[in-house]
């Protein structure tokens, strides 16, 4: 059991954490980055990435994260394979204890633990994830040009994703488990007015259907929860937009969060309510959730931590 002390501890190794590490290392802060349970974060479970600037052709999400981590290492980050089990942010230096038994003490902390997309959780969903099923229309919508897609969910994300997908798909069907949407009215109006979008109410997935080797989604079997009727519709793609869960369990009671458990940061900044603690990436962003915005806030967090250290 070792105690590591650092000027800046970064928890999380997705785009936000790695970018914070790159900036902090280049500012000679000798950062420690603790990788966590899913090294590389959400990009490691995607395939083609076409919207991260700097690459003419599609790159692979896992490859991009490998590069970010190598870059962070190369400029002087100490990367540690551990999963933080508890933190004490009530006094400086802050303390974090890993499942390995190691203790990390830090003058500043960057929380970059990300968020996890919620999935429906049925077996056939796993089979076609990345092969027709996606949890991110902004990332994958482009691949459905001229095709038909369905979107699951009834919140703002589902409505925004359905509208966004009309830029590519010939037909978008929103499927919701109830008979009203919880999305804001303005979004609902746009959705109902759009001639490419239709809605199937009161329905849940029984099974995703498709071909195997190579796996490819071709349709979805639905059950009407009011009548029990089973139906099948053809589709090329399915977007799951039933919400995300920010990975903030560890920080409950330690930093301020909103009603959905996202960490609250000062607008235009990554500052939390605890001086010296910064939050970057999806852990504090329920709106954009992009690799590039996560990287952007990771950069901000490192620069703000550097300023904080200079002032103390
Ligand atoms: P929400 O939690 O708001 O909505 C999730 C939707 O998915 C609900 O309609 C819910 O149904 C449905 N759902 C949940 N679990 C299941 C399941 N197992 N099977 C089928 N359906 C399911 O998530 P969002 O991602 O839409 O939004 C999260 C937060 O982010 C909200 O506060 C939202 O307002 C905000 N947001 C804001 C945006 C903006 O301002 N531009 C853009 C996107 C999000 P039910 O309604 O029955 O509970």
184 or 258, higher pLDDT: 258
In a mutational test of the pocket of ligand 1, which residue from 119, 153, 179, 241 has the highest number of ligand atoms less than 8 Å from its CB? Answer: 153
Determine the pLDDT at residue 68.
98
Looking at 48, 102, 136, 202, which residue is catalytic? 136
Distance (angstroms) between ligand 1 centre and the Cα of 130 equals: 21
Running DSSP on this structure, what letter comes out for residue 148? E
Residue 225: the pLDDT is 98
pLDDT of residue 264: 98
282 given a catalytic annotation? no
Q: What is the pLDDT of residue 44?
A: 84
100 pLDDT tier (thresholds 50, 70, 90): very high
User: What percent of the chain lies above the pLDDT cut of 70?
Assistant: 100
Q: Could you tell me if 139 and 222 are in contact, meaning their C-beta atoms sit under 8 angstroms apart?
A: no
> What does DSSP assign to residue 143?
G
- What predicted TM-score, i.e. pTM, was given to this entire model? 0.80
238 has a pLDDT exceeding 90: yes
Q: What is the mean pLDDT of residues 200-219?
A: 96
Q: Check if the beta carbon of residue 53 is closer than 8 Å to that of residue 293.
A: no
Choose among 36, 30, 29: nearest CA to 11.
Answer: 36
Interval between CA 97 and ligand 1 midpoint (Å): 33
Q: Please check whether residue 277 is in contact with residue 255, taking contact to mean a CB–CB distance below 8 angstroms.
A: yes
Tens of pLDDT, residues 83-99: 999 999 999 999 999 99
Is residue 110 very low, low, confident or very high in pLDDT (cuts 50, 70, 90)?
very high
Closest to 297 measured CA to CA, from 268, 272, 264: 268
Reported confidence tier of residue 45, pLDDT bands at 50, 70, 90: confident
Q: Which atom of ligand 1 is nearest to the CA of 187?
A: 41
Phi (first) and psi of residue 20, to 5 degrees: -60, -40
Ligand 1 center to residue 116 CA distance, Å? Answer: 13
Instruction: Let me know if 299 is a catalytic residue.
Output: no
Note if the bond before 57 is cis, omega within 30 degrees: no
pLDDT tens-digit readout, 180-203: 999 999 999 999 999 999 999 999
Q: Reply yes or no on whether 140 is catalytic.
A: yes
Distance 162 CA to ligand 1 centre (A): 13
For 260-298, the pLDDT digits (tens) are 999 999 999 999 999 999 999 999 999 998 999 999 999
Q: Which atom of ligand 1 is nearest to the CA of 244?
A: 25
Give the side-chain half-sphere CA count within 13 A for 163.
16
pLDDT at 261: 97
State the chain's mean pLDDT as an integer: 96
Q: Ligand 1: which residue has its CA nearest to atom 16?
A: 242
Residues at CB less than 6 angstroms from ligand 1: 120, 152-158, 160, 177-178, 182, 242-244, 260, 286-287
């Amino acid at each position: 059991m070792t105690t590591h002390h650092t000027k800046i501890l970064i928890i999380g190794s997705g785009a936000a954490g790695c970018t914070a590490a790159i900036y902090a290392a280049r500012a000679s802060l000798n950062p420690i980055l603790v990788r966590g349970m899913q090294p590389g974060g959400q990009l490691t479970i995607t395939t083609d990435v076409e919207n991260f600037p700097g690459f003419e052709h599609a790159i692979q999400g896992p490859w991009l994260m490998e590069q970010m981590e190598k870059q962070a290492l190369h400029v002087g980050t100490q990367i540690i394979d551990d999963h933080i089990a508890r933190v004490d942010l009530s006094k400086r230096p802050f303390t974090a204890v890993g499942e390995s038994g190691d203790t990390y003490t830090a003058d500043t902390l960057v929380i970059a633990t990300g968020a996890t997309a919620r999935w429906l959780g049925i077996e056939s969903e796993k089979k076609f994830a990345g092969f027709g099923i996606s949890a991110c229309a902004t990332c994958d919508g482009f691949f459905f040009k001229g095709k038909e897609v369905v979107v699951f969910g009834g919140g703002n994300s589902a409505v925004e994703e359905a509208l966004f997908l009309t830029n590519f798909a010939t037909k978008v069907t929103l499927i919701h488990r109830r008979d009203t949407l919880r999305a804001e009215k303005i979004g609902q109006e746009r959705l109902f007015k759009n001639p490419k979008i239709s809605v199937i109410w009161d329905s849940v997935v029984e099974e995703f259907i498709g071909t195997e080797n190579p796996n490819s989604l071709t349709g979805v079997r639905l059950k009407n929860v009011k009548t029990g009727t089973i139906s099948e519709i053809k589709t090329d793609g399915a977007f799951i937009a039933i919400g995300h869960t920010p990975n903030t369990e560890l920080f409950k009671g330690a930093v301020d969060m909103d009603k959905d458990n996202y960490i609250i940061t000062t607008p235009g900044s990554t500052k939390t309510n605890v001086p010296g603690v910064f939050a970057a990436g999806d852990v504090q962003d329920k709106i954009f959730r992009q690799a590039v915005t996560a990287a952007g806030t990771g950069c901000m967090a490192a620069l703000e931590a550097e300023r904080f250290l200079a002032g103390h």
